């Protein structure tokens, strides 16, 4: 069963706007990772945030983690049409053996 749940399920924005996606999970984690998937392709790792971190940046990406609320958010600033894809959060247990993926947010950036 999947542990993470993303919202919204779908998001449509204009190019240049910011996109925010949220992820909630159920159990204790070691870290949380965000992945991107273009239609019909494999997943690409975007960013990892450890359980003892609260915020992390990578280029136009900003990730926050609130372990007390068991939630994370991914912010993409100054979106581009090429950002159109599905975005998944994956929670990783302390054993590191299993990645639990959420149901994903489908992002459409309109040029």
Query: Contact region for other proteins (CB under 8 A) — 11-19, 26-34, 52-60, 75-83?
Result: 26-34
Does 64 contact other proteins by CB under 8 A?
no
- In the bound state with other proteins, the residue whose beta carbon lies nearer, of 44 and 110, is 44
Distance (Å, whole) CA 111 – CA 89: 25
9 dihedral zone (left: phi>0; alpha: psi -120 to 50; beta): alpha
Does 25 contact other proteins by CB under 8 A?
no
- In the bound state with other proteins, the residue whose beta carbon lies nearer, of 41 and 54, is 41
Among 20, 64, 77, 103, interactor with other proteins by CB under 8 A: 103
- In the bound state with other proteins, the residue whose beta carbon lies nearer, of 37 and 64, is 37
Q: How many CB atoms lie within 10 A of CB 10?
A: 11
Backbone phi and psi for residue 60, each to the nearest 5 degrees, phi listed first: -85, 5
What is the DSSP secondary-structure string of 72-109? Answer: EEEEE-S--GGG-EEEEEEEE-TT-S-EEE---EEEEE
CB of 16 to other proteins, least distance (A): 28
| Contact positions vs other proteins (CB under 8 A) | 2, 4, 30-31, 33, 35, 40-45, 48, 50, 88, 90, 92-104
């Amino acid at each position: 069963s999947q542990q993470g749940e993303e919202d919204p399920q779908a998001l449509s924005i204009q190019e240049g706007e910011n996109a925010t996606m949220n992820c909630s999970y159920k159990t204790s984690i070691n870290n949380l990772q965000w992945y991107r998937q273009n239609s019909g392709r494999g997943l690409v790792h975007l960013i990892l945030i450890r359980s003892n971190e609260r915020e992390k940046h990578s280029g136009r990406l900003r990730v926050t983690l609130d372990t007390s609320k068991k939630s994370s958010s991914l912010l993409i600033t100054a979106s581009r049409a090429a950002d159109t894809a599905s975005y998944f959060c994956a929670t990783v247990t302390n054993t590191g053996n299993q990645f639990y993926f959420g149901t994903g947010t489908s992002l459409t950036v309109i040029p």
